[in-house]
Amino acid sequence: MKLSIIKTLFTLAAIAVFSIVNVAQARPNNTSCPTGNTISKTFSSGAAWDMCWGVRAEEGVVLSDVYYKPANKIRRRVLGEASLSQIQTEYDDGSATEFLVTQYGLGGSNLQTLNASMCQGGQVRRHNGRQVLCEVTKSNGYIYRSSNNTRRQGSKLDVYSASNINAREFIIKWSFLENGSIEVASGLTGIFNKTASNAVNGWPVTAQNRIATGFTDHYFWRLDFDIANDNGNDIIEQIMSIPSSDRLTKTKQVQTISNEIAASFTPSDKKFWRVKDQSVTNEANQAISYEMVALNYAQQSKGNSNSQWLKNDMFLTQYNACERFAVQNPSNNCGTDVSQFVNGQNINAKDVVVWYRLVHHTLPRDEDFSPAPIQWSHFIMLPRDWTSTNSL
Ligand SMILES: [Ca+2]
Ligand SMILES: [Ca+2]
Ligand SMILES: [Ca+2]
């Protein structure tokens, strides 16, 4: 008797705790774009992408409600919202660090007007009467080939804008491939004006008779994955393939990330993360997911300062509406930077957000003057088990 009362009390307590834990914030599940702000593309195979776009003074172009439809399959949501949530620039000579998104903004008058020549074969979209976004379909070469009779070329939808800050120009490009991959890139070009007094902090630009300062850009991408209909049930897994001590085999290790973490890539172990839905599966009963593929890892560094938010590559958090910028977040009720967003909240079957820091160091060269040829920093979001076989 006593035991059953204790059991009942325990169950009630567990339900109460579960209910409290379950009161998690989620982005409104709103899938209709503001009028004129829809981008959609159906390829000849039947594969398709559609999404909303908008412009903010700080982040510039922001994409939302991004859906992928594989050929002959169901259309499902991949991302709730995606943006470049900060660019932190550090100079090699110790000049003041700049926070480009919050101090200057990728939007507003820094968002460049694109003429037709910058969007050949595509369509330039307007914001506040100005042409600011290019949407263009391009051939993407081979998707696969296994013999002369088994081969296929594919296409992609490119969506890009340009922002100019202190004469440096950033081309922000999202490529949506017919096979479901998303390639995200920031291209740095424009004019490198900063001059150093000591050659060890830069490179002598002979034609200009000055030392161009070296600098590091830390790009912080905010990726609010919202897989399928339910944006409150996503799970993040860390997957590693760890070499044996004799290095003759690799052992796969899959770990569900239960609570918010700040993590880093370890290329020697092949470590990556994927966001999967708790319940939706492909036709072969595997959970549908997208994984993060890091590229341009060579310059990943912890920065010149001792800043906590520069010490990790990935920050995996529970959605919080006031957490907009990775660094210099203004809200009083939120942490000011992404390292503070990681405060122990549960992210197992929740509305999760992935923050990815991608680093690019520039040591200028004569050919960069002027303007500098574009240097791309990019990464890929790759479907894993979204379809049970190659849908193309
Ligand atoms: Ca989901
Ligand atoms: Ca948090
Ligand atoms: Ca989410």
**What pLDDT, on the 0 to 100 scale, is given for residue 9?**
53
pLDDT band at 19 (very low <50, low <70, confident <90, very high): very low
**The pLDDT of residue 360 is above 70:** yes
- Average model confidence (pLDDT) for the chain? 92
Helix (H) / strand (E) element for 339: namely: helix 338-341
Decide if 194 is inside a domain: yes
**What pLDDT, on the 0 to 100 scale, is given for residue 5?**
55
Mean pLDDT of 37-65: 97
How many domains, the chain?
Answer: 1
Domain CATH for 331? 2.70.98.20
Q: How many CB atoms lie within 10 A of CB 26?
A: 16
Decide if 33 is inside a domain: no
With contact defined as beta carbons under 8 Å apart, do 84 and 228 qualify?
Answer: no
Please give the structure tokens belonging to residue 254: 């899959």
User: Cα(263) to centroid of ligand 2, in Å?
Assistant: 14
Decide if 391 is inside a domain: no
**The pLDDT of residue 304 is above 90:** no
| Percent of the chain whose predicted confidence (pLDDT) is above 90 | 80
User: Cα(226) to centroid of ligand 3, in Å?
Assistant: 4
Decide if 173 is inside a domain: yes
**What pLDDT, on the 0 to 100 scale, is given for residue 78?**
98
User: Cα(83) to centroid of ligand 3, in Å?
Assistant: 13
**What pLDDT, on the 0 to 100 scale, is given for residue 338?**
98
User: Cα(344) to centroid of ligand 1, in Å?
Assistant: 21
With contact defined as beta carbons under 8 Å apart, do 155 and 137 qualify?
Answer: yes
**What pLDDT, on the 0 to 100 scale, is given for residue 296?**
81
The rounded distance, in Å, linking the Cα atoms of 318 and 224 is 9
Tens of pLDDT along 159-201? 999 999 999 999 999 999 999 999 999 999 999 999 999 999 9
Decide if 51 is inside a domain: yes
Residues of the domain holding 203: 2-27+38-384
Choice among 170-174, 297-301, 340-344 with the minimum mean pLDDT: 297-301
**What pLDDT, on the 0 to 100 scale, is given for residue 269?**
82
Mean pLDDT of 314-335: 94
Decide if 145 is inside a domain: yes
User: Cα(317) to centroid of ligand 2, in Å?
Assistant: 5
Decide if 390 is inside a domain: no
Decide if 32 is inside a domain: no
